[in-house]
Chain A
Amino acid sequence: MRKHKLLWSSLFLLFQLHLFAQTRTITGKISDANGKPIPGASILIKNSRTGTSSGPDGSFSLNLPATAKTLVVSAVGLSSQEIEIGDRTSFSIVMTARDNTLSEVVVTSLGITRDKRSLGYATQNLKADQLADKGQVNLVNAMEGKVAGVNITGASGGAGASVNINIRGITSFTRSNQPLFVVDGVVISNDVDRTNGGPNGTLGDQQPANRALDLDVNNIEAINILKGPAAAALYGSRAAAGAVIITTKKGGVNGRSEIVASTSYSMQNMEGLPKVQNLYGQGSTGIYNPASGNSWGPKFGATPSIANGLLVGGQPVPYKAYPNNINEFFQTGTISDNYLSISGGDAKQNFILSGGYTAQTGILPNTSVDRVNIKFGGNTVFRNKIKVGGSANFFNTLQTGILDGNGASALAVIEGLARSIDLTTYRVKGTYQNLDGTNNWPIPNQDNPYYDAYKNPLKSNLYRIIGSVNAGFDATSWLNVNYRLGLDAYTDRRKQIFAISSARVPGGQDLESDIYRSELNGDLIITAHKNDFLVKDLNITGLVGQNINQRRFQVVTAQADALSIPGYYQINNGTNFAVGTAEQTTVQRLLGYYGQISLDWKDFLYLEATGRADESSTLSKSKSTYFYPSVNATFIFTDAFHIDSKILTYGKLRANISRVGTDAPPYQLANTFVKGSYGNNVANFTFPDGAIAGFTLSSTIAPNLLTPEFVTSYEIGTNMGFWNNRASLDATVYNTISTSQIFSVGIPPSTGFTTKTVNAGKMTNKGVELTLSVEPISTRNIRWDIVGNFTKNVNKVISIYPGITSFSVPGSAFIGSIPTIKVGQPYGVIVGGLIPRDSTTGARLINSGTGVYATTIANQILANPNPDYILGVSNTFHYKTLSLGFTFNFIKGGQILSFTAASYKSRGAYVETGKDRDKPWILPGEILTNGKYTQNNIQIPAQTYWQTLGGLQSEFNVYDATVFRLQDITLGYDLPASVAKNLKINYIRLSVFANNVFHVAPNAFFDPELNTQGAGNIRGLDLQGTPNARTVGASLKVSF
């Protein structure tokens, strides 16, 4: 106790001393040659640790100790300056660009910071202000349209729905193609953990989050995207799909404490649903039927008669349109986001404590995300030799979702809802359930959508810790030893309930699922650096390292079916526990050894080589160690040839070749038996049969030998700066070849097995990435920045396995529209049935008996979800302290199979289906009779016509997903520095923003940028998911 007192009083003394030592205050403003303010510049007193950094308007103020004589001013990409203080109290400092450079310090593999000019591969950096204040809860969403070479697609506008991210296309047949996410050097999980939504399995779940959702966007300082295998080579196998390197905010380096507080509030609305007709209501063939989910009934206003079903027992039935019955199911979502951070210290000793709380209610009833984020981090230096740092991040994310997907889900009922159903009454009066708590809905085998929303939710409660410690030691002036240990671990407790009488699970269900995932990484890195190595101007940096990695996963699920007591959701309320109750545990480990040599000749020629050997627990023993190298070179020709042109300020060429190996998922090497079960969602059986156990051979045959997957990549690129870097171009072309893929190839089911694990196959990705930045206006008060990102990736499956030309992408899909890996095609084409055609005219064939299309031919390509190219353009205008930024995103091509569209058409809800109902319709096509084709002239009713075009898996529901979108728009205002200073604050920033502002999809009558299955290798399927959402909000950020 006394010890503590002593400690506190000495700490107190320290502060006192610190205060007493300050004698006077200076202020100043830092700007560039054009008078544009430079924020974030460092102002240090020479030979001390005291200093500050400039605010957003370039201004700073600093308390000087009496001994201070000189200021050192530095900023990224600009020449450092030393300024004598003398007696001045006010400074106006103009900084100039470093000669002929386009310099930027970025964080690369393993947390190594590098000057971007030396890199022989493509990376792209995003700063905090490009991500924050956009109303995005999910960090990955916030990146959309802002990075070349990256394809980002959200699952939907549902609260917490996952977001898919692929960098430079898909490089692995069956493994995750999501990039590696690294936060402050710690590899973290961005996995999507699915929970079965009743008998439809993961086809009917509630769009679970990708786990990057847990990260607080406010906490992010910068993101560097390592695009190709070369960039990520030192990360090894984990980063074969690229890496997203996230740097969070650190304790201040300005020698002062800082408090940053921000708050924002946004509102969300559903966006992108099809237009509906309001002329016809429930029924079929023009006859009213209150139990019908379709709008093929009589016209509103028709005279009630027994024949049209509107006269029952001599009384007319109430029958009218409810034009907004679909839209009103969706509610206004809200997002409230609050953040507070306290930081302090200087370059050597610093800390940060931050907390964030985000509360979102979704656009669907009973959907929400609540997220708490607490971080503590600190760094210190002992005796000027040993740097020790660490951080602990704690997360708690709660998500409540309702079911998506074809069938009985709320979304499936809502999308194309019959026009004469008054949905609102059910909500307002609570009559979506009967007095006994059962489902109240006139249509059989469906739930009242409110019933589904309120009575059948899936809840997730996740606790997560991401922690790291690192210790670095400068053994000599040229040798540094560093060790970093990082851990990411979370437990996600899920609870899915189905009330008794729910359409999907009429007996009721309570499912409890605990998902545990952890990853531990330890890296020992020894770095040596020598200038003027062997000859003058040749600098060399060498690195050797060792990595130890362990990944654990466990999911334990207890599922109680056939509940006894309504409204009581405990496992002990069940009478059957045979289905779903299961446990799965995996552990995989890896040891890696790596090295890198970087040579730098006169700051214009760089050469680098890396090599890594991994030893994995998951491969066949004889092949468990594998080596892969990379080499890259950079040549800054403007410096080499002393090009001093007004037009070409800076020019760099870069090239690399790299190879990355990947190990297998665990437990692939032995044939196993699993618990027996039969059937699917329409009829099923699961052992045990009473008390009798039943096991069956697993449907996969183990491989004879399992060796690593390899990705080999060739990349060349250039960075060029023009007109004093007012314009710059970053261009890359690449060719990536994936070989020796580890996957379960589909084999003939008549073998008794459906798949066999093999090493085979070849797939290529060829692409172009362009980033063009232009600053058309740059004056003292006005600045305009444009950044355009262009992405084109062409994927092609070259071969699969001898004798196999296609197999389905693992995951859940409906037979008849299966995402498939098919030789000669791009990855993930959706395979189903196509209507046969007249080979000469190409016209579709009509069944002469029915007047509708002939039976489809199976195993044809229905849709290709891969876009032709993606173009994102961000604009930022600054006028004094006012800024306006917006991002356009244009996705050209790619196709989507939309069950939503099918549903609107076949159910007679889509606006077009209300036209010319009374007239006969003829499907375009030809009839084949006696070997001759004749034009179809068979008249069919409108209902038959639209239901033919509205078959769920029909080619008529494949739409071109081309979409132009105003992705986000942000208007920001910084209080002028003079005012802020009077208020004794660093800065105040006020923003209003909107995202997903509007879209134009020329070839689809709905928003085609959806993917019900969310993040993963299955793309281009809208299986009646949540529509997109538009967000509008405002935020306030203050720094003290």
Chain B
Amino acid sequence: MKRSLINRYRIIRLAILLLFAGMLLGSCKKYLDVNTSPNAPTVVPPSVLLPTTEIGIAFANGNDLDRATSAIMQQIAGVANQTQGYDVYNFSGAFDNQWNGELYGGSINNCVALIDMDSATSPAYSGIAKLEMAYAFSMLTDVWGDVPYSQAGQGNKYLYPRFDKVQDIYQGNSSLGIQSLFDLVNSGLADLAKPGALKPGKDDIIYGGDLTKWARMGNTLLLKFAIMLTNVNPTMAKSVISGVISGNNFINSNALDFEVPFGTSSSNQNPIYNFNYVNRSGDQMLSSRFLALEQSLNDTLRLARFFTKPNGVFVGFNNGSNAPAPTQATRSQYGTYLIAPAGNPTALGAAPIRLLTNFQVNFILAEAALTLGTPGDPNQLYQAGITTSMQKVGMAASDITAYFAANPTVVTLGGTQQQMLQQIITQKYIAWCGNGIEVFDDYRRTGYPVLALPLNPGGDDPSVIPTRLPYTNGELSTNPNAPNPRPLVDVKLWWAK
């Protein structure tokens, strides 16, 4: 009797245990269904991607690529760390951040996402994205030469993007399925003209959703691309520029400039300020060579907008010099124009990154009128370029007039066509201070301004000023389609002189 009781208890206990185990197993399916991330969304509206792409192209333009090209172009001189290396052509380990995280990732991939979003409802976003993407790709190909273009930024679709040739990127290649940069811009312009329910507003931090301004940006982009072809396809250059002139819908006032605003908050500052004044204030300063050029042109009022004048004197440093740098407090560093927005010199870090400008348009049209015979008077356009640049940096109208009066030979084209071209490009070089990529482009295309090698040059070829930047380690080590070995930095690009 007692024994059977124990057995019964035992059975009950076992049953309870099994029941418990069974309950655990029974609830498995829901139990394991916990793999949806609460941390990151899988779908977002276009309004949160557009700002990322706009800041992206500006950040890429004003960050490390700008420092390297501005040092190569001897507007700044490196005194410490990476910029010091760039000064003497040591680029090892550089530019992965720009290639990976600012251009292909950040700008281009999100532009692709914007274009892929329902273009029936948001052709405005698609149009803007195409124009931005064209700008981003032009930075890539102008700096590095052959780059992934037609297959780039599309993730799984092309896991090993092909390196398209510079000429195919600029001119297209239908047999390879490559749309030219010009056609990409035109396609963007066409999208902008389509009706659509969804339009950007304040999320468009550049133009506040004003699509007519974007159309001007697109046409100006065509001018910028066309002038790159002066050495290799002047016919195409001329026809594009003439077309844009007759369309008369490009950036023709400083107020329309394509520039990306930044903020004063420590996480929203433009990269030029953030680098030079917040994180790496000791790394770079005014080049004594740029100082000498500006002094020879009596252009120091404008220079004082580009660079600081501690204790009332400009202090530069020779590119590549091994001599000790002047103490930091006495160095000329980037000035108001590059760190604060026009008319608000105390809004430090909020200066826009200028990507397409009215002065640039004037210089392009001056050069085209001079060398390609497009409509317009070269000298008039040249002077407009200088004037609009001086206006842009905030010089008083009276100072500009005084400069023109005092320096007639500087502000008037003269001599041979080459000499006049040199004048145009030299002035463009000065006006673009703070956008090293633009001056690097013009230098390689025209050979102006005339620059000497830095002291102690090194790198791939210490005997010439680099004509491109080396491909990044990240791309070289992962993409079997990347040129191997990489071209040295003395190999000229297709459009170079």
- Chain A proximity mask over B12-54: 1 for CB below 8 Å, otherwise 0: 0110010001001100100111111111111110011101100
* Shortest CB distance B403–A (Å): 33
Residues of B within 8 Å of A562, CB to CB, are 265-266
B96 in the interface (beta carbon within 8 A): yes
B459 in the interface (beta carbon within 8 A): yes
CB closest residue in chain B, given A692: B51
Q: How far is the CA of A816 from the CA of B155 in the complex (A)?
A: 26
- On whether A696 and B154 interact (CB within 8 A), knowing A617-B32, A752-B112, the answer reads no
Which of B48, B152, B265 interacts with A578 by CB under 8 Å? B265
Q: How far is the CA of A807 from the CA of B32 in the complex (A)?
A: 32
Q: How far is the CA of A289 from the CA of B324 in the complex (A)?
A: 10
CB closest residue in chain B, given A561: B266
A507, A590, A695, A816 pick with most chain B CB within 10 angstroms: A695
* Shortest CB distance B452–A (Å): 14
* Shortest CB distance A661–B (Å): 16
Q: How far is the CA of A696 from the CA of B41 in the complex (A)?
A: 10
- Chain B proximity mask over A186-224: 1 for CB below 8 Å, otherwise 0: 000000000000010000000000000000000000000
Asked whether B97 lies within 8 Å of A481 as measured between CB atoms, the reply is no
Residues of B within 8 Å of A548, CB to CB, are 24, 31
CB closest residue in chain B, given A817: B93
- Chain B proximity mask over A574-587: 1 for CB below 8 Å, otherwise 0: 01101100011111
Q: How far is the CA of A832 from the CA of B265 in the complex (A)?
A: 36
Asked whether B159 lies within 8 Å of A695 as measured between CB atoms, the reply is no
Q: How far is the CA of A291 from the CA of B147 in the complex (A)?
A: 44
- Chain A proximity mask over B466-486: 1 for CB below 8 Å, otherwise 0: 000000111111111110000
Asked whether A753 lies within 8 Å of B109 as measured between CB atoms, the reply is yes
Q: How far is the CA of A679 from the CA of B279 in the complex (A)?
A: 12
- Chain A proximity mask over B243-278: 1 for CB below 8 Å, otherwise 0: 000000000000000000011011111010011001
Residues of A within 8 Å of B41, CB to CB, are 672-673, 695
CB closest residue in chain B, given A618: B35
B462 in the interface (beta carbon within 8 A): yes
* Shortest CB distance B147–A (Å): 7
B156 in the interface (beta carbon within 8 A): yes
CB closest residue in chain B, given A753: B155
Q: How far is the CA of A616 from the CA of B21 in the complex (A)?
A: 18
Asked whether B105 lies within 8 Å of A673 as measured between CB atoms, the reply is no
Residues of A within 8 Å of B39, CB to CB, are 583-586, 667, 672
B113 in the interface (beta carbon within 8 A): yes
Which of A561, A678, A803, A953 interacts with B101 by CB under 8 Å? A678
Q: How far is the CA of A285 from the CA of B41 in the complex (A)?
A: 56
- On whether A678 and B102 interact (CB within 8 A), knowing A562-B266, A667-B39, the answer reads yes
B63 in the interface (beta carbon within 8 A): yes
- Chain B proximity mask over A675-697: 1 for CB below 8 Å, otherwise 0: 01011111111110110111111
- On whether A683 and B279 interact (CB within 8 A), knowing A546-B24, A754-B100, A815-B473, the answer reads yes
CB closest residue in chain A, given B91: A855
Q: How far is the CA of A583 from the CA of B56 in the complex (A)?
A: 24
Which of A685, A752, A854, A855 interacts with B108 by CB under 8 Å? A752
Q: How far is the CA of A953 from the CA of B43 in the complex (A)?
A: 41
- On whether A752 and B104 interact (CB within 8 A), knowing A199-B279, A289-B324, A673-B41, the answer reads yes
Q: How far is the CA of A806 from the CA of B24 in the complex (A)?
A: 44
* Shortest CB distance B8–A (Å): 13
Residues of A within 8 Å of B363, CB to CB, are none
Asked whether A692 lies within 8 Å of B202 as measured between CB atoms, the reply is yes
A811 in the interface (beta carbon within 8 A): no
B92 in the interface (beta carbon within 8 A): yes
B24, B37, B42, B96 pick with most chain A CB within 10 angstroms: B37
B328 in the interface (beta carbon within 8 A): yes
Q: Which residues between 551 and 605 of chain A lie within 8 Å of chain B, taking CB atoms?
A: 561-562, 575-576, 578-579, 583-591
Residues of A within 8 Å of B92, CB to CB, are 816, 833, 855-856, 858
Which of A522, A847, A856 interacts with B462 by CB under 8 Å? A847
CB closest residue in chain B, given A590: B32
Q: How far is the CA of A693 from the CA of B25 in the complex (A)?
A: 44
* Shortest CB distance B488–A (Å): 10
Q: How far is the CA of A587 from the CA of B32 in the complex (A)?
A: 10
Q: How far is the CA of A697 from the CA of B112 in the complex (A)?
A: 10
Q: Which 9 pairs show the lowest CB-CB distances between chains A and B?
A: A752-B109, A748-B479, A672-B40, A750-B148, A667-B37, A749-B100, A752-B153, A816-B93, A694-B52
Further contacts, 12 of them, CB under 8 A, given A287-B324, A697-B105? A289-B324, A589-B31, A666-B34, A667-B35, A670-B37, A676-B106, A682-B280, A686-B267, A692-B202, A695-B48, A748-B479, A750-B104
User: Which A positions have Cβ atoms within 8 angstroms of B?
Assistant: 199, 284-285, 287, 289, 291, 444-445, 473, 475, 481, 483, 506-507, 522, 524, 546, 548, 561-562, 575-576, 578-579, 583-591, 615-618, 624, 666-667, 669-674, 676, 678-687, 689-690, 692-699, 701, 746-754, 756, 803-807, 815-816, 832-833, 847, 849-850, 854-856, 858-859, 944, 953
User: Which B positions have Cβ atoms within 8 angstroms of A?
Assistant: 10, 13-14, 17, 21, 24-25, 28, 31-44, 47-49, 51-52, 55-56, 59, 63-64, 82, 89-90, 92-93, 96-97, 99-102, 104-106, 108-110, 112-113, 147-148, 152-156, 158-161, 202-203, 205, 262-263, 265-269, 271, 274-275, 278-282, 322-324, 327-328, 456-460, 462, 472-482
A-B contact pairs, 16 of them (CB 8 A): A284-B324, A289-B324, A672-B39, A678-B59, A683-B274, A683-B280, A692-B205, A694-B48, A695-B44, A748-B478, A751-B104, A754-B101, A816-B93, A849-B457, A855-B89, A944-B322
